[in-house]
Amino acid sequence: MENEAGALSRVAGLFSARGYNIESLTVAPTEDATLSRMTIVTRGSDEVIEQITKQLNKLIDIVRVVDLSDGQHIERELMLVKVRAEGEWREEMKRMSDIFRGRIIDVTDKTYTIEMTGAGHKLDAFLEALDKGAILETVRTGASGIGRGDRILKS
Amino acid sequence: MELTGAEITVRCLAEEGVEYVFGYPGGAVLNIYDEIYKQDKFKHVLVRHEQAAVHAADGYARATGRTGVALVTSGPGATNAVTGIATAYMDSIPMVVISGQVPTPAIGMDAFQEVDTVGITRPCVKHNFLVKDIRDLASTIKKAFFIASTGRPGPVLVDIPKDVTQFKTDFEYPKNISLRSYNPVTKGHTGQIKRAVQMLLNAKRPMIYAGGGVILSDAAKQLTELARLLGFPCTNTLMGLGGFPASDPLSVGMLGMHGTYEANMAVQHSDVLVAIGARFDDRVIGSPEHFYQEERQIIHIDIDPSSISKRVRVDVPIVGNVPDVLTEMIKLIKTSKEKPDQTALKTWLTQIELWRSRDCLKYDRTSDIIKPQFVLEKLHEVTGGDAFVTSDVGQHQMWAAQFYKFDKPRRWINSGGLGTMGFGLPAAMGVQLAHPDAMVACVTGEGSIQMNIQELATCKQFNIPLKIILLNNRYLGMVRQWQEFFYGERYAESYMDTLPDFVKLAEAYGHAGRRIDNPAEVEDALKWAFSAEMKNTLVFLDFRTDQTENVYPMIPGGKGLSEMILV
């Protein structure tokens, strides 16, 4: 989409005005400073997804819309989790982070902050695996997606 | 040469060939108004409320096909314009609205008359812009006109902060504009058009269902040729009236909630339905589940891909400019040498005539109270069917649609999508200014007319001699009808207890008026209003009509096309 003021609110407004749900939405400028790329995760029947695609295409600021789930694609999300790291938990948290290929990026006497990337379901699985009482704070970026192989999105 | 933003704005409008700007001045647009004062390329029409400015620009656009232009100030100027903008958006009317904004350093400071105009209007415009840099001003206005008038048309708003109208920059109006993210399709897919033609040629019970897209794209000629070439019956939506001549024997009138029995039955029982510039909305086909009870194949031609398969599944979608697609279809049919099954078509048309003989629009012609339908039949007669008719919203709108038989496109001007009461009078001003010598009638109700009655002053100032046909039943008639049918005759707040003397009111504004209480006086009053003597005078006719008359047929909300309440 055009990297214009208001473009994000046009997309967000479209979803709320037409009653579509947004599970996550990420957006940032690309290597071409005049363009931004947005990844939206949404759910709906084939008809609803078709309408969402058409309605997005109608927005003047939108350059191109693809449904990544139409083909092979890669999806990644970044999560930062602050966990308790006292007593017996200190070793346990380190081990869990290693198993899920997380990285501990900040340490205090009482806490670890773990950085983890992956598909959304992997991050979900990590949170599931932790003792609920151990999780102090979570922040997630929402998914960014890209086609697998030679498939690219160009205007 | 360096020009100020205000000069640039005015120059851009002149470059676009704008004839009329409808507007209302205020602090944020004073620089622009100062430049309007100094120029003579276009005329400015001072309305009495910003909503009316937008409706007038809308009426102008609908009657001409050109882009309407409105100019309003920041804050309340812009919020007052919103209803007009939403009206134009729902009916896909090409329009550019220029709004003033507080100076850029004041944006976000809760400044006097500040409102987030771009934010407020975002869901009801095709696109909008806030011009923060004067160097973008000319190209933005160019883009606004381009976007408003191409593809599926719609309103575009340009919000200009006051300091931007003061700054100076070199002016050059771009000749052309291209937007990488906006390339509306025009040519239909050849393969799909061939499939559609074959489907039409194989049809046994065909129906053409033509909407507002036919009017907007100036495709009435092509539609009429196609229907006559195939001998297929045609129904028009509320927005599509005049797209196919109502007087043609193949016309079955309007379809939908208050459509004719024959139109609704024929659509429901057709085996091939071709929708042209129409969108299967809830007021047209009612419940999709009921619509699906009969099997049929659907061809859908529309410029907007998102209109296709939105409410109803379609077998042959054709995205393209309607007149171009129809021209290609006509060419294919002519060269194919094939003809639809004439026996089947004859049986089908006979069935339609049987439905027509139900005479679903009949009403009591012997009544000694004025029947609203009678007024409209007489209006058609007195104007020779050649008037531009605007309407407000409610029963009078439906009766006008049913009883004024439109043979030409762009003659019927009403708020179909948004259903905006108060639309009729200002829209009629735009129509009359566009066609100064034409007969223009605003058919209205006593509820609707009071929503923008102040525009009688504008009509006086700018010598707009339109004729107001008020069907005055002292009720919010359509609300009353629903209350009678669906709310146990509890008429909650639908009775207008104190009405002004409309004749005196019209006279107070400097116009002429007459109150008509008796059916025998109807024709005479209309003849007077449209007489040579009154050619240059606005005439306000207050017809006291039957208070309990209802609009028939009616499909109750959520019901299907063949579930009409009939008189």
Q: Could you give the CA distance from residue B563 to residue B567 in angstroms, rounded to a whole number?
A: 13
- Which is nearest to B52 in space by CA: B458, B512, B529? B458
B147 and A60 within 8 Å at the Cβ level: the answer is: yes
Does residue A8 belong to the interface with chain B, where contact is any CB pair within 8 Å? no
Q: B235 forms bridges with which residues in the sheet?
A: B209
- Residue A25, min C-alpha distance to chain B (Å): 20
B306 and A51 within 8 Å at the Cβ level: the answer is: yes
Q: What pLDDT, on the 0 to 100 scale, is given for residue A155? A: 58
Does residue B127 belong to the interface with chain A, where contact is any CB pair within 8 Å? yes
Mutation test of the interface with chain B: which of A54, A57, A153, choosing the one with the most B Cβ atoms within 10 A?
A: A54
Q: Could you give the CA distance from residue B26 to residue B28 in angstroms, rounded to a whole number?
A: 6
Residue A121 burial (CB < 10 Å; 0-12/13-18/19+)?
Answer: exposed
B181 and A10 within 8 Å at the Cβ level: the answer is: no
Q: What pLDDT, on the 0 to 100 scale, is given for residue B534? A: 98
- Which is nearest to B49 in space by CA: B24, B79, B84? B24
Work out whether strand A135-140 and strand B2-4 pair parallel, antiparallel, or are unpaired.
unpaired
Does residue A148 belong to the interface with chain B, where contact is any CB pair within 8 Å? no
Residues 6+ apart with CB under 8 A from A108: A85
Q: What pLDDT, on the 0 to 100 scale, is given for residue B144? A: 98
- Residue B116, min C-alpha distance to chain A (Å): 12
The DSSP result for A94-110, as a single string, is HHHHHHTT-EEEEE-SS
Does residue A45 belong to the interface with chain B, where contact is any CB pair within 8 Å? no
Q: What pLDDT, on the 0 to 100 scale, is given for residue B337? A: 87
Cis ω on the peptide bond leading into residue B553 (within 30° of 0)? yes
Tokens linked to B144 = 């606004």
Among B122, B182, B306, the residue with its CB nearest the CB of A54 is: B306
Nearest chain A residue to B305, by CA: A54
Annotated catalytic sites of B, by residue? 50, 112-113, 162, 478
Q: Could you give the CA distance from residue B538 to residue B428 in angstroms, rounded to a whole number?
A: 11
Q: What pLDDT, on the 0 to 100 scale, is given for residue A153? A: 85
Work out whether strand B168-170 and strand B2-4 pair parallel, antiparallel, or are unpaired.
antiparallel
Kindly give the residue spans of alpha helices, DSSP state H, lying in B441-554.
446-449, 455-461, 477-486, 502-508, 519-529
Q: What are the C-alpha distances in Å from A89 to residues A2, A113, A129, A138, B250?
A: 47, 13, 13, 17, 82
A54 and B119 within 8 Å at the Cβ level: the answer is: no
Q: Could you give the CA distance from residue B514 to residue B542 in angstroms, rounded to a whole number?
A: 6
- Residue A23, min C-alpha distance to chain B (Å): 21
Tokens linked to B6 = 């205000």
B352's enclosing H/E stretch is helix B342-356
Distance of CA B563 to the CA centre of its chain: 27
A17's enclosing H/E stretch is helix A7-17
Does residue B305 belong to the interface with chain A, where contact is any CB pair within 8 Å? yes
Q: Could you give the CA distance from residue A68 to residue A39 in angstroms, rounded to a whole number?
A: 9
- Residue B530, min C-alpha distance to chain A (Å): 45
Nearest chain A residue to B148, by CA: A60
Kindly give the residue spans of alpha helices, DSSP state H, lying in A18-152.
46-58, 88-99, 120-129
Does residue A17 belong to the interface with chain B, where contact is any CB pair within 8 Å? yes
The DSSP result for B393-439, as a single string, is SSHHHHHHHHHS---STT-EE---SS--TT-HHHHHHHHHHHSTTS-
pLDDT along chain B (567 residues), means of 10: 96 98 98 98 98 98 98 98 98 98 98 98 98 98 98 98 98 92 90 98 98 98 98 98 98 97 98 97 91 95 94 95 98 94 98 98 96 98 98 98 98 98 98 98 98 98 98 97 97 91 98 98 98 98 97 94 94
Neighbouring CB atoms inside 10 A of A148's CB total 10
Q: Could you give the CA distance from residue B233 to residue B226 in angstroms, rounded to a whole number?
A: 10
Q: What average pLDDT does this structure show over A146-154?
A: 89
Long-range contacts (CB closer than 8 Å, 24 or more residues apart) made by B79-82: B79/B115, B79/B120, B80/B49, B80/B50, B80/B51, B81/B50, B81/B51, B81/B53, B81/B54, B82/B120, B82/B121, B82/B124
What is the per-residue pLDDT across A18-57, written as a single tens digit (0 to 9) for each? 999 999 999 999 999 999 999 999 999 999 999 999 999 9
B306 contacts in chain A (CB < 8 Å): 51, 54-55, 57-58
Query: Are B126 and B155 a contacting pair, CB within 8 Å?
Result: yes
Does residue A57 belong to the interface with chain B, where contact is any CB pair within 8 Å? yes
Nearest chain B residue to A34, by CA: B180
B177 contacts in chain A (CB < 8 Å): none
- Residue A143, min C-alpha distance to chain B (Å): 24
A155 and B181 within 8 Å at the Cβ level: the answer is: yes
B130 contacts in chain A (CB < 8 Å): 5-6
Work out whether strand A144-147 and strand B20-23 pair parallel, antiparallel, or are unpaired.
unpaired
Q: What are the C-alpha distances in Å from B47 to residues B3, B100, B179, B453?
A: 28, 17, 34, 11
- Residue B422, min C-alpha distance to chain A (Å): 25
DSSP 8-state symbol, A146:
E
Average pLDDT, chain A: 95
- Which is nearest to B440 in space by CA: B542, B536, B525, B544? B536
Q: What pLDDT, on the 0 to 100 scale, is given for residue B301? A: 98
Residue B319 burial (CB < 10 Å; 0-12/13-18/19+)?
Answer: buried
B residues 135-194 lying closer than 8 A (beta carbon) to A:
147, 179-182
- Residue B238, min C-alpha distance to chain A (Å): 24
Tokens linked to B216 = 């907007």
- Which is nearest to A111 in space by CA: A86, A130, A94? A86
What is the per-residue pLDDT across A55-113, written as a single tens digit (0 to 9) for each? 999 999 999 999 999 999 999 999 999 999 999 899 999 999 999 999 999 999 999 99
B305 and A61 within 8 Å at the Cβ level: the answer is: no
A4 contacts in chain B (CB < 8 Å): none
Among A13, A17, A54, the residue with its CB nearest the CB of B305 is: A54
Q: What pLDDT, on the 0 to 100 scale, is given for residue A154? A: 75
Does residue A58 belong to the interface with chain B, where contact is any CB pair within 8 Å? yes
A5 and B182 within 8 Å at the Cβ level: the answer is: no
Tokens linked to B316 = 């042959």
Work out whether strand B155-161 and strand B20-23 pair parallel, antiparallel, or are unpaired.
unpaired
Lowest mean pLDDT among A121-125, A138-142, B88-92, B289-293: B289-293
Query: Are A97 and A141 a contacting pair, CB within 8 Å?
Result: no
Q: CA triplet B381, B385, B386: central angle to 5 degrees?
A: 130
Does residue A63 belong to the interface with chain B, where contact is any CB pair within 8 Å? yes
Query: Are B543 and B516 a contacting pair, CB within 8 Å?
Result: yes
